[in-house]
Structure 1
Amino acid sequence: MSIPQSGGGPIERHEQLAEYLASGCKPKQDWRIGTEHEKFGYCKDSLKPLPYDGDRSIRAVLEGLRDRHGWSPVEESGLIIGLEKDGANVSLEPGGALELSGAPLETIHETCDEVNQHLREVKDIADEIGVGFIGLGAAPIWRHDEMPLMPKGRYKLMDSYMQKVGTDGTAMMRRTCTVQVNLDFSSEADMVQKMRVALALQPVATALFANSPFFEGKPNGHKSWRSRVWRHLDAARTGMLPFVFDEGFGFEAWVQYVLDVPMYFVYRDGKYIDALGMSFRDFLKGELPALPGERPLMSDWADHLTTVFPEARVKKFIEMRGADGGPWRRLCALPAFWVGLTYDQGALDAAWDLVKGWDAETRDALRVAASVDGLQARVGDLNMHDLAREAVAIADAGLKARARPGAGGLIADETHFLNALKESVESGKVPADELLDHYNGDWNGDLTRIYSEYSY
Structure 2
Amino acid sequence: MSAPPSGKGEPVDRKQQLVDWIASGEKPAEAWRIGTEHEKFVFRRADLSPVPFDGPDGIAAVLEGLAGRFGWERLVEDGKVVALTRNGCNITLEPGGQLELSGAPLRTIHETCAEVAGHLEECRSVAEPLGLGMLGVGFQPLWPRAAIPWMPKGRYAIMRRYMQRQGTLGLDMMLRTCTVQVNLDYADEADMVKKLRVSLALQPLATALFANSPFSEGTPNGFKSYRAHVWTDTDADRTGIPAFVFEDGMSYERWVDYALDTPMYFVYRDGAYLDVAGRSFRDFLKGELPELPGEKPTLSDWSDHVTTLFPEVRLKKYLEMRGADCGASDQLCGLPALWVGLLYDQTSLDAAWDLVRDWSVAEMEELRGAVPKLGLQAPFRDGTVQDLARRVLAIAEHGLKARGRLDWIGTSEESYLSDLHETAASGVTPADRKLRLYHGRWNGSVRPMFGEYAF
Aligned to 2:95: 94
* Number of residues of Structure 1 aligned to a counterpart in Structure 2: 454
- Over aligned residues, Cα RMSD in angstroms? 0.9
Q: Is the 8 A contact 1:31 1:106 kept in 2?
A: yes
Deviation at 1:5, TM superposition (A): 4.1
Deviation at 1:382, TM superposition (A): 3.9
1:428-447 correspondence runs (5 A): 428-447=427-446
Q: Is the 8 A contact 1:183 1:319 kept in 2?
A: yes
Aligned to 1:310: 311
Unaligned runs of 5+ in 1: none
Q: Which amino acid aligns with 1:413?
A: S
Deviation at 1:412, TM superposition (A): 4.2
2:304 is paired with a residue of what secondary structure?
helix
2:273 is paired with a residue of what secondary structure?
strand
2:187 is paired with a residue of what secondary structure?
coil
Is 1:416 aligned to 2:421, yes or no? Answer: no
Deviation at 1:444, TM superposition (A): 1.1
Aligned to 1:323: 324
Deviation at 1:273, TM superposition (A): 0.5
Deviation at 1:55, TM superposition (A): 1.5
Q: Which amino acid aligns with 1:3?
A: A
Distance 1:3 1:279 in 2: 23
Q: Is the 8 A contact 1:4 1:303 kept in 2?
A: no
Q: Which amino acid aligns with 1:121?
A: E
Unaligned runs of 5+ in 2: none
Distance 1:78 1:209 in 2: 38
1:320 is paired with a residue of what secondary structure?
strand
Q: Which amino acid aligns with 1:194?
A: K
Q: Which amino acid aligns with 2:346?
A: Q
Q: Is the 8 A contact 1:65 1:121 kept in 2?
A: yes
Percentage of matched positions with identical amino acids: 56
Q: Is the 8 A contact 1:336 1:417 kept in 2?
A: yes
Deviation at 1:152, TM superposition (A): 0.2
1:68-79 correspondence runs (5 A): 68-79=69-80
Distance 2:339 2:54 in 1: 37
Aligned to 1:63: 64
2:295 is paired with a residue of what secondary structure?
coil
Deviation at 1:446, TM superposition (A): 1.2
Q: Is the 8 A contact 1:136 1:211 kept in 2?
A: yes
Q: Is the 8 A contact 2:209 2:375 kept in 1?
A: yes
Q: Which amino acid aligns with 1:440?
A: H
Distance 2:417 2:258 in 1: 34
Is 1:300 aligned to 2:301, yes or no? Answer: yes
Distance 1:12 1:92 in 2: 32
Deviation at 1:411, TM superposition (A): 2.1
1:67-115 superposed Cα distances (whole Å, 9 cap, x missing partner): 0111110110110001000100000000000000000000000000000
Aligned to 2:426: 427
Aligned to 1:452: 451
Aligned to 2:229: 228
Deviation at 1:379, TM superposition (A): 2.9
Q: Which amino acid aligns with 2:236?
A: A
Distance 1:380 1:23 in 2: 39
Is 1:218 aligned to 2:215, yes or no? Answer: no
Bigger Cα displacement from structure 2, 5-14 vs 133-142: 5-14
Aligned to 1:274: 275
Is 1:369 aligned to 2:363, yes or no? Answer: no
Distance 2:411 2:423 in 1: 23
Aligned to 1:38: 39
Q: Which amino acid aligns with 1:401?
A: A
Aligned to 2:395: 394
Distance 2:270 2:82 in 1: 17
Distance 2:177 2:318 in 1: 23
1:325-378 superposed Cα distances (whole Å, 9 cap, x missing partner): 111110000001000000000000011111111101110111111111111111
Distance 2:140 2:159 in 1: 20
Distance 1:91 1:288 in 2: 29
TM-score, reference length from structure 2: 0.99
Deviation at 1:3, TM superposition (A): 2.4
